[in-house]
A and B are shown apart, each in its own frame.
Chain A
Amino acid sequence: MSATGIGAAVRRKEDHRFITGQGRYTDDINRPGQAHAYFLRSPHAHATLDKIDTKAAAAMPGVLGIFTGDDLTADKVGGLICGWMIHNKDGSPMRAGPHPALAQGKVRYVGDHVCVIVAETLAQARDAAEAIVVDYGVLPAVVDTASAAGAKTVVHAEAPDNTVFNWHLGNKDATEKAFKAAKHVTKLDIVNNRLVPNPMEPRAAVGDYDDGEGAFTLYTTSQNPHVARLVLSAFIGIAPENKLRVVAPDVGGGFGSKIFIYAEETVCVWAAKKVRRPVKWTSDRTEAFLSDAHGRDHVTHAELATDADGKITALRVHTTANLGAYLSTFSSSVPTYLYAPLLSGQYDIPAVYAEVDAVYTNTAPVDAYRGAGRPEATFVVERLVEVAARELGKDPAKFRMQNYIKKFPHQTPVIMMYDTGNYAASMKKALEIIDYKGIGKRKRDSARNGKLRGIGFSSYIEACGIAPSAAVGSLGAGVGLWESAEVRVNPVGTVEVLTGSHSHGQGHETTFAQLVSGRLGIPIENVSIIHGDTDKVQMGMGTYGSRSGAVGMSAIFKALDKVIAKGKKVAAYVLEADEADIDFADGHFKVKGTDRTLDFGSCALQAYVAHKFNGQDLEPGLKEGAFYDPTNFTFPAGVHICELEIDPETGITRIERWAAVDDFGIVINPMIVEGQVHGGIAQGVGQALLEGARYNADGQLVTASFMDYCMPRADDLPSFDVGMTVTPCPSNPLGIKGCGEAGAIASPPAVINAITDALGHEDIAMPATPQAVWRAAQKSIKRMAAE
């Protein structure tokens, strides 16, 4: 291993600009003559838009334009799209209403976009918004996930029972048969609480129009600028792709919420041409709460069947998923193909059957949030398994190991072909780290101090490296999920890599450079990673689903193969040898069995000066591109164990220890990977203990600021013990599985399993706030007294 190659904890190349205040985020961009946009948002969850009177507002100081949905229609600007078609059980397509960027006729959630005001300053735009008179015909709202289907209030006429789809996966008959034959059935009702992703950088957009070129530029907080361009161009109709440049500069966190193509950037780029001025919009935090796509929000009944030996024989679930008021970009895929295929967990379960009903409600759209479907699946599986072990009187670690898949490849009953893994190795290592043998004594010590101590497990698996294009196409995806890369070698041997992946905290500028530095044997300083600009990088699918390592880096790997192959041809001419006799290692081309070598930089120079070969026999230059389409999903897996202590007098839960052992396959930079695990755990602990987006019965979001929605802070969390096991992924050339979402997937059930272990009963839901835990602890105390 070289000091900067694969496996080295290289300090990040991008950090200098961030620690000195020189990061360049979208809101830091100011175009000459820039105007400001403010969106007037609906204060009602559900209402007809009877009249929008903008006359007085239009005459106010600084106002450049006020636009409604009718103006978009007049310009033939289409609505926002959902890019994944789901089919109902009966084979019919899902039922979806239109999703206009600015409301037409009706508003459907608090924060829905009524109109936009563009003015010289933001303050003037806000002032003008107050002078707009809107006649709303307020309608009853449907808010509750479980009762939305068939409610009297209808969100979209296209889905008269508020049901977008009734979908299923798995083998229903085999599952029913297995349940009939079961010795024991464990049953749970589970609510997976609605979350707000809350990257620290709020969304922002700057639209610009160049009349001379007839071309638009959009600077936006996006995880996938090329997908944004594709959608804005081909579906929404802003401009042809060659006349629309999308730039996603430094992006301050995404966690899924910046995958989607939203109303605001659509309107900003379109309005730039209307007012012939650059138009900027930056979300404030409350707007982010109201209008960023939310996550999770499932209501589930789940059952697990076991035989007389404690072998799991079947699992079945019924889930109702709240998709909010409109279908966001990838919303329909989250509670379906990103959820049910993971319901086999790490276990050899012969029969699995899942039914999912997706509903419209008068709430913000719900889409992918870190893990996207896989945390929901893991919560179901790991809660069921933990409770089953308790009901059967078995040790939860041993019960898991008994039921782990041990032979690979393994075909689950729900699509996935797991390629490799060693689940017991991760469990054993995690048990050591947490000192499982000592838990009895630690529980007794806590009890002596009047505290309740619990330990909880989570054996998670996820499907990452999203995804083989043909496979997702057959499941309803509207796009292919390959990745592209271009490696440009400069004449002096420095290298620029253009990638379709996008870094918004993951450290690609470092990890991708490690790959190139190691492979080409050149200093890491000589490698620059370029991403996030559709004028520079030809095409890409962006960063989500832990795909940038497994898919994005594999594309770079393929392009590097081509660079080395071309380099060998050049070296053969220069070294006057046969191409077949040229080896490349440690940054040098070498003629086999001789001491004749050509270093990589000199080879690059020779490729460009083209003096040693005939340009007709070999093209000058050294630049190669590649598209990589994965052959399978990747399957990161691991075991997280949470140990915590509850103070029954205050309901406060303190996490005392956290052991995380993950198998991410080959790791490029362990420092960065551990950082991803830490951050993921924190988000999962947030879901389990602190975070919950709440709408009241009228559809008002009552948790719309950091005062009301509890984000995890430094003193809510412990330090984490992170370990790793490695089974290289066989389906990509680097052996990478991916690590971005693991922590958020693994941690919620570990926390809740630990809390219920401490409480001695299962009656607690997420978020387990001090109030909820206090109530649950009183029940435990009563029970203990009765015993």
Chain B
Amino acid sequence: MTTVSLTVNGKAVSANLDPRTLLVQFLRENLRLTGTHVGCDTSQCGACIVHIDGKAVKACTTLAVSLDGASVTTIEGLAANGTLHPMQEAFREHHGLQCGFCTPGMIMSAVDIVNRRGSVLDEKTIREDLDGNICRCTGYHNIVKAVAAGAQAMGASSAPARQAAE
């Protein structure tokens, strides 16, 4: 067993784990954060995507014990103080989900795309950058629309904050 201490959704967490425990198992089974899903076993589908230190990572192929000192954000930690994240809001507004199973990973991936590429995204970029997320319900049409709108909203909401900081 190995001890690991990390931050999950802003809260300090420590655990004594079997070293083979995957991050997704740790989140779902130890912390009961069941919003992060397992859709495959080969790192293909992206239903398990979370942010580690601000970057999108597939939690199904990350060992929990490798994350000592890291900061993990899951779908449950995305809304701040009861206010939905603009990307969550965009998925609802644009019907970017049907069964909801791939949705947490899609939203975490979409936020990461905006973090990497900025808030103005064309369709081709969104489609190529969603390559690591599989959805079987939507045909991606409305997900692409949601990501573009969510990106724009993220840009608009961060602009005043940036100005204030400057």
A residues neighboring B (CB under 8 Å)? 11-12, 14-25, 27-28, 30, 123, 198-202, 250-253, 255, 282, 284-286, 504-507, 671-672, 674-675, 678-683, 705-707, 711-715, 717, 719-720, 743
Contact = CB atoms under 8 A, between A and B. Distances in A.
A713 B98 contact: no
Nearest to B134: A711
B91 A507 contact: no
A678 B107 contact: no
A200 B42 contact: no
B42 A678 contact: no
Contacts of B142: 675, 678
Contact of A284 (B37, B41, B130, B138): B41
Contact of B135 (A200, A282, A719, A743): A200
7 contacts: A20-B78, A21-B74, A22-B35, A23-B35, A23-B101, A252-B99, A682-B140
Contact of B76 (A21, A252, A507): A21
Pairs of residues from A and B, 8 with the lowest C-beta to C-beta distance, nearest first: A21-B35, A252-B101, A18-B100, A682-B139, A505-B99, A21-B75, A678-B139, A706-B44
B130 A715 contact: yes
Nearest to A675: B95
A451 B37 CA distance: 41
A12 B136 CA distance: 19
Dominant SS among interface residues on chain B? loop
B41 A21 contact: no
A666 B130 CA distance: 34
A265 B45 CA distance: 25
Contact of B39 (A17, A200, A251, A714): A200
Contacts of B7: none
Interface in B92-141: 92-93, 95, 97-104, 107, 123-124, 126-128, 130-131, 133-141
B34 interface: yes
A720 B143 CA distance: 13
A19 B99 contact: no
B63 interface: no
Given A253-B101, A679-B136, A706-B45, A21 B91 contact: no
A255 B136 contact: yes
A250 B37 CA distance: 13
B86 to A, nearest CB: 11
Interface size class, chain B? 35 or more
A22 B77 CA distance: 11
B100 A252 contact: yes
B156 to A, nearest CB: 19
Given A200-B101, A201-B101, A19 B91 contact: yes
Contacts of A720: 139, 141
A23 B93 CA distance: 18
A18 B143 CA distance: 14
Contact of B144 (A252, A282, A719): A719
Contacts of A20: 35, 75-76, 78-79, 84, 88
Contacts of A714: 126-128, 130-131, 133, 135, 140, 143-144
B13 interface: no
A371 to B, nearest CB: 14
A14 B42 CA distance: 30
Given A11-B93, A20-B88, A285 B101 contact: no
Contacts of B38: 27, 202, 282
Contacts of A286: 41
A507 B98 contact: yes
Contacts of B47: 200
Nearest to A287: B41
A672 B38 CA distance: 26
B85 to A, nearest CB: 9
A760 B35 CA distance: 49
Contact of A715 (B36, B78, B128): B128
